[in-house]
Amino acid sequence: MTAATLEPSSALDRRIDAIARERRTTRRSRLASLAVALALVLGTVYAIVIKDTDWARLTWQSVATSLARFAEFDTSALPGLVDPAIDTALMATLASFLGLFLALPVAWLGARNITPLGRASYVFGRGLMTLSRSVHEIVWALIFVSAVGLGVLAGILAMAVRSVGFISKVIAEAIEDVQPGPIEAIRAVGGTKFQILWYGIVPQVLPVVLGTVIFEWDINIRRSTIMGLVGAGGLGLVLFREMARSNYGGIATVLAAVLALIIVGEFVSHYARKAII
């Protein structure tokens, strides 16, 4: 064999070797991450199921008896749940509206193309969005109780503030994607900044905004069940009252009512969003 035919084949060999080596390392790193994940599962199972759980007190019988207590469905309570259910829906509505109003200035700050003070206000707006989403509604509720006391107001404020992050994020992204045509047209005829915002941007993002608020309304119904903790009314308050009385049948009934309300809410939001878009 001559050197001329030998060299290309060795180059080919090298390439084949390289590919094989890469495959081996990929497979090895994939196996390694799988092993780490599995080891972590075993570690957490040991910490939680074996070390932390008192199996002497927790037996199949005890679980079965506590489950059975929930099965005593308290149907007599159902008619009395209609009013609280309406309250819950209204609370979610108010919280979503308030969330929208609070979200508008945040979206204005956090939309790259219209933020007033450049990078500083953009980062500030985005930071507010992250803060709103990062703090759980329970924590927000506890914070607002310190300001306005126990009651509906604290619950609504907590849900509204928690909604701000998502609503304003979606609005800001919609604003960043607007068609520049109408804005340029308004600017060309000498429109002010506010006129650009009101006539150029708002009509373009309105469907997205309304769709998001309806979506958030749905979530706020779920959240309002937990606001009974801070004394906000509706099904959440009934639920916490039943829990304080250890009336398990009543708890199950209230939860069924919550589920029914959420199914109704999902239908409403589905059709409302269809009507808008």
Partner 1 sequence: MHAKPSSDAAVIDDVEVTTLLEDGERAVAGDALAPPRTLRWRKWKRDLVWAGLIGLVVWSIDRLDIPLDRLPGILGRMGETLMTRYFPPDIARITQRDYLGSVFETLEMAYLATVVGIVLAIPLAWFASANMSPSKRILYPLSRLAIMACRSVHEMIWTILAVSILGFGMLPGVLALTLFCVGFAGKLFAEAIEAIDQGPVDAMRATGANPLQTFVYAVLPQVRVAWTGTSIYTWDVVFRAATVVGFFGAGGMGWYLRESMQRIASQEVAAIILSIIIVVLIAELFSSWLRGRIARAIA
Which stretches of the chain bind partner 1, using CB under 8 A? 37, 40-41, 43-45, 47-49, 52-54, 57-58, 63, 66-67, 70, 86-87, 90-91, 93-94, 97, 130-131, 134-136, 138-139, 142-144, 146-149, 151-153, 156, 222-223, 225-226, 233, 239, 243, 248, 251, 255, 258-259, 262-263
The residue among 122 and 144 lying less far from partner 1, judged by its C-beta, is 144
The CA-CA-CA angle for residues 49, 53, 55, to 5°, reads 105
Nearer to partner 1, 43 or 116 (CB): 43
Structure tokens at 151: 């009651």
- Tally Cβ neighbours within 10 Å of residue 14: 10
Shortest CB 54 distance to partner 1, Å: 7
Q: Which is nearer to partner 1, 12 or 127 (CB)?
A: 127
Rounded to a whole number of angstroms, the minimum distance from the CB of residue 164 to partner 1 is 15
Q: With both helix axes pointing from N to C terminus, report the angle between 82-110 and 119-134 in degrees, rounded to the nearest 10.
A: 160
Task: Give min distance, CB of 129 to partner 1, in A.
Answer: 11
Least Å distance, CB 8 to partner 1, is: 32
Query: How long is the chain?
Result: 277
Alpha-carbon gap, residue 136 to 84, rounded angstroms: 24
How does 188-226 read in b/e, with b if 16+ C-beta sit within 10 Å? Answer: eeebeeeebbeebbeebbeebbbbbbbbbbbbbbbbbbb
Closer to partner 1 by CB, 93 or 121: give it.
Answer: 93
**Whole-number minimum distance, CB 9 to partner 1, in Å?**
33
Q: Rounded to the nearest whole angstrom, what is the least distance from the CB of residue 40 to partner 1 in the complex?
A: 6
Query: Nearer to partner 1 by C-beta: 130 or 192?
Result: 130
Q: How far apart are CA 126 and CA 257, in angstroms?
A: 37
- Please name the residues in contact with 257: beta carbons below 8 A apart, sequence gap of 6 or more: 78, 81, 85, 235
Nearer to partner 1, 13 or 22 (CB): 22
- Helices 202-224, 152-176: axis angle to 10 degrees equals 150
